[in-house]
Chains A and B, each alone.
Chain A
Amino acid sequence: MEMSRSDLQSKPRSLFEKVWDAHVVEELAGGNALVFVDKIVAHEITTPQGAFEIERRYEDKLFDPARIIAINDHVSPAKDTETAIQAKVLRDWAKRHGIVLYDIGQNGICHVVAPERGHVEPGSTMACGDSHTCTLGAFGAFALGVGTTAQGGAMLAGCLIVQRPKVMRVTLDGRLQHGATAKDLALTVVATLGFKGGTGYVLEYAGDALATLSMDERMTVCNMAIEAGATTGLIGPDETTFSYLRGRENQPTGDAFERKVDGWRELAADPDAVYDREVRIDLSALRPMVSWGTNPGEAVPIDGAVPANADAGSLRYMDLEPGRALRSIPIDQAFIGSCTNSRLSDLRAAAEVLRGRTVSIPTIVTPGSQAVKRAAEREGLHDVFQDAGALWTHSSCGPCLGMSMGVLAPGARCISSTNRNFPGRMGTGGRVHLASPAVVAASAVLGRIASPDELAVEALAAG
């Protein structure tokens, strides 16, 4: 049922509600709605099966190929015949339909490439067969990770069926300091809400602190909304958003762009909007966080220890005991990359720690896109990493999902800038500790969980 203009004007709305209302094609039974999808991001692991279904049963007719972008990212370049076939299926399908394709040489992780190429707009809706699509909520888009069938449905009919989520306002106060980063905020949100505490909610971020966060940082924060079970994350657009988009490819230039900005400026929650739940986080109280367990909610400040009430199954898998100081845990491998932390600012933060130092364990640095890679190389970051003894790779999901390079041996312990520490996530039997790029870098140097300030202390002592 359509609301009249006066209804909409009289009822104060959250940002989520505004984006939602503007995309509901039809209300459906059970609190579901048919929601129009402005853009679909398709990658090689989850797209082929849906594309085949449309080819076999629906005459290969897509709703609108211009609303789809395709990216080979998870295992790119392919590692074997099977993954080569996946990439080829996506590539051939994209070419057949005239779909924009980012392939070897211009690709990277879909959630890094899509915004970087100007495909994510405030107030739009996005869908992708990938749970970390929530990353794109950083632009004020309602960005939904979905299964293959749902993505296929969007390719076929331009819509998703979505159960209308509740909205949780997460108000951020203060400023990040004491070495805390956006990653530590993301981990804190998951630890605060719990691994499933966000289920059924959109996390709508609010508060004065947002203005202090860059787009890279906002993407890191929204990236981990799914780790609290949330439907997605959402941050209202502001000048930071507009300047990120200004001059991007796939965006208009000049007056045409500024007219879009005028529309985007209207995209803010009404001051008296009502939320289903409220959470407040003081950024100035945050410290670097590290996960000790087997879900991203099992994380504590780096100065802390494995909690006394830790889950027995998690402890067994991680081979840890309650009370164990995080800084005392030795590490076998370090990884900096993934859609959480592989953008230029993340690489800069890691390089700052590694400059002039040497890693003591195998360390892999994987930029999030080829564009990020080239930008990093123009700044000489590749030299910093390689001088430190780390491996500097091409862009890809890479070690994040244990599917191609950098797979962990059973029992091996990795400190990682990624978003998931599930059992076996980075390789069968492998153990993962989630942390910020700076903490991963410091840990790579010391061979145990460590923060950058420990290195500073060491340098002083040595000097």
Chain B
Amino acid sequence: MTIEGNVLPLDRANVDTDQIIPAHYLTGIETTGLGKHLFAGMTGGAELLAAHPDASILVTRENFGCGSSREHAAWSLVDRGFRAVVAPSFARIFFENAYNNGIAPIVVDDAAIDALLAAPRLQIDLEAETVLAPDGATFGFTLDPLRKQFLFSGGYMAFLAAKRDAVRTWLQRRAKGQLVQET
């Protein structure tokens, strides 16, 4: 599967979840309709989005999505049409949330980011695990071999639902002391 689209270049490190979507927009109970608040906590965020109205790939610097666990950060990106975030590193919880919502978190090195920030458009091949810039430059990345299936099917919950019986069995064995204990 390939994600092809325009780039929103966000040349900043440590973009935290309060900048992606501030807490005062977390008053809803659904996962939809949050795109209008994307980057509402970021200086210059609205201007950046206005300048790249149809972007679907965010290119940014290290430690993207640090801070809060709010999945609203991923939901607001999804609602705005983003399908991938390319960065040198991600904060753990955002990284997980991205996979669970069909946003590919693509990790490439700092040098690649320098090049990709300048590209107006990118092609991301999720099978071949390559990012292709318009000038022909390509950069490799590795997806989490387990979580990448969640990108295609939105299937985190379905994956876990299928494990319920196995978990119950494990729990019964634990209750009977049949597992190796932690001592």
Q: Which residues of A contact B (CB under 8 A)?
A: 2-5, 8, 18-19, 21-22, 25-26, 28-30, 32, 34, 36, 45-46, 48-49, 52-54, 57-58, 63, 75, 80, 82-83, 85-86, 89, 123, 129-131, 133, 145-150, 152-153, 156-159, 161, 163, 195-196, 199-200, 229, 231, 263, 266-267, 295, 313, 317, 401-403, 407, 420, 422-425, 428
Structural contact, A423 and B146, CB atoms closer than 8 A: no
B157 contacts which chain A residues (CB < 8 A)? 53-54, 57-58, 149, 152-153, 156
The answer on a CB contact under 8 Å between B97 and A25 is no
Q: Is the CB of B180 within 8 A of A36?
A: no
Digitize B7-20: 1 where CB-to-A-CB distance is under 8 Å, 0 elsewhere.
00000101010110
- Flag if A149 contacts B101 (CB, 8 Å): yes
Interchain CB contact under 8 A, A45 and B182:
no
10 extra A-B contacts, CB within 8 A, seeds A22-B180, A131-B68:
A34-B163, A49-B30, A57-B157, A85-B29, A145-B69, A149-B156, A161-B147, A403-B24, A423-B41, A428-B41
Looking at the assembled complex, report how far the CB atom of A408 sits from the nearest CB atom of chain B, in whole angstroms: 12
Q: A22-B179, A295-B14 are in contact. Are A46 and B27 (CB under 8 A)?
A: no
B interface, over-half SS: loop
Interface residues on B, range: 35 or more
**Once the chains bind, are A46 and B70 in contact (CB under 8 Å)?**
yes
A153 adjacent to B160 (CB under 8 Å): yes
A401's nearest neighbour on chain B, judged by CB, is B23
In B10-49, the 8 Å CB interface with A consists of 12, 14, 16, 18-19, 22-24, 26-31, 41-43
Closest 6 interchain pairs by CB?
A: A22-B182, A82-B27, A157-B160, A147-B97, A48-B29, A147-B71
Residues of A within 8 A of B96 (CB): 146-147, 150, 161
Q: Across the interface, do B70 and A28 meet the contact criterion of CB distance under 8 Å?
A: no
Report yes or no: B67 in contact with A36, Cβ–Cβ below 8 A.
no
Contact, CB under 8 Å: A229 / B146? no
Complex alpha-carbon distance, A8 and B166, angstroms: 23
Bound-state Cα–Cα, A75 to B144, Å: 36
- Bound form: Cα–Cα A200–B144 in Å: 14
Closest to A32 in B: B146
Q: Which of B57-97 contact A (CB under 8 A)?
A: 62-63, 66-71, 74, 89, 91-93, 96-97
B115 at the interface (CB under 8 A from A): no
How far, in angstroms, from A428 to B18 measured CA to CA in the complex? Answer: 10
A to B CB contacts below 8 Å, 13 in the list: A19-B182, A21-B182, A36-B167, A86-B27, A86-B28, A147-B70, A150-B96, A150-B100, A157-B164, A161-B147, A295-B16, A403-B23, A428-B41
- CB-based contact A147/B100 at 8 Å: yes
Contacts of A75 in B (CB 8 A): 27
> Which residue of the partner chain, among B62, B69, B145, B171, contacts A196 with CB atoms under 8 Å?
B62
**A314–B91 CA distance with the chains assembled, in angstroms:** 19
Rounded to whole Å, the gap between the CB of B130 and the closest CB of chain A is 19
Closest to A34 in B: B163
**Does any Cβ of A come within 8 Å of B152's Cβ?**
no
Name the distance in Å between B94's Cβ and chain A's nearest Cβ. Answer: 8
Q: Report Cα–Cα, A8/B179, bound state, in Å.
A: 12
The reply to whether B147 and A402 form a contact with Cβ atoms under 8 Å apart is no
Q: Are A423's CB and B69's CB within 8 A?
A: no
Bound Cα distance A156, B160 (Å) = 7
In the assembled complex, how far is the CB of residue A20 from the closest CB belonging to chain B, in whole angstroms? 9
State whether B146 touches A28 (Cβ < 8 A).
yes
Known: A86-B29, A317-B43. A423 touches B18 (CB 8 A): yes
Complex contacts, A4 vs chain B, CB 8 Å: 180
B62, A148: Cβ atoms under 8 Å? no
Inter-chain CA distance A36–B173, complex, in Å, is 13
- Contact call B26/A8, Cβ cutoff below 8 A: no
User: A158 to chain B: which residues have CB within 8 Å?
Assistant: 164, 167-168, 171
> Counting chain A CB atoms within 10 Å of each CB, which of B31, B66, B91, B174 scores highest?
B66
Cross-chain contact B144 with A130 (CB below 8 angstroms): no
Can you name the residue of chain B whose Cβ is closest to the Cβ of A231? B92
Q: Which residues of B contact A21 (CB under 8 A)?
A: 180, 182
Measured between beta carbons, the chain B residues less than 8 angstroms from A83 are 27
Write the nearest CB–CB distance from B172 to chain A, whole angstroms: 12
Q: A150-B96, A161-B160, A422-B19 are in contact. Are A82 and B69 (CB under 8 A)?
A: no
Complex Cα–Cα for A161 and B147 (A): 9
| A196 near B160: Cβ-Cβ < 8 Å | no
